[in-house]
Amino acid sequence: MTDIKLRSDVTAKLVKSSATDVDVVQAARVSTQGAESLGSDKKPAGLINFLMRDRHGSPFEHTSFTFLIEAPIFVAREHMRHRAGWSYNEESGRYKELQGVVYMPAEDRPLVQVGKPGAYHFEKGTFQHRGSVLGSMRVAYGEALRQYHNMLDDGVAREVARMVLPVGLFTSYYATCNARSLMHFLSLRTISEGSTFPSFPQREIEMVAEQMEEALSAAMPLTHTAFQANGRVAP
């Protein structure tokens, strides 16, 4: 029988970063100090807050974060809509037999949408809703993977057989960004108190974003503080 593994979490593991608040300060100070800006690290908090507030965004770009993300295909689809300042490489259904790891919403994941487009919210749903999702997903995921393997066993090419696989299947990809493109992503893909603008992320990409935000906060605490203090608007 086809082996299926259910997952309710996602991971955005920081592979490496080259990103500090001082990188921002040096790049910003070149405006007023020229080449003497190199090594500059005086009063970074005030400068970084000033840059964030007045939307001087380019100094935040001289930084780099690389993540290895494991998430369902529908999350990767949303993520890769971000173009400027983002690089990606993803697991291939053409070059690799895909594993049977599929996404199943966790207990606390709201399942019911109330309201209409532009003005709705989510509610947890009843025991009945939860049962519907669990049951339907098990059946559909199971059948998709069974038929995928049937085709592979029959000698059909991976790139053809994979057409039946669901967007809830897990994929893995590297994503590299800079602090500016990351803040732009966070501003759209998280919901947070104190945001100047509203955002409407699907919960699963927000789970990715939350892990990325921790990496930003750890590597560039002054930048992250200024981002939060200025309404989470990417500069």
**Residues carrying an active site annotation:** 189
Structural element, H or E, at residue 227? helix 221-229
155: left (phi over 0), alpha (psi -120 to 50) or beta: left
42 vs 83 by CB, closer to a copy of itself: 83
- At closest approach, how far in Å is the CB of 7 from a copy of itself? 12
In the complex with a copy of itself, the residue whose CB is nearer, 91 or 210, is 91
**68 or 217, CB closer to a copy of itself?**
68
Would you say 187 and 106 are in contact if contact means Cβ atoms under 8 Å apart?
Answer: no
CB of 100 vs a copy of itself, minimal distance in Å: 12
Task: Find out whether 234 and 59 touch, Cβ atoms under 8 Å.
Answer: no
- The distance of closest approach from Cβ of residue 182 to a copy of itself in the complex, given in angstroms and rounded to an integer, is 13
d(CA 209, CA 221): 17
7: closest CA among 207, 201, 152, 193? 207
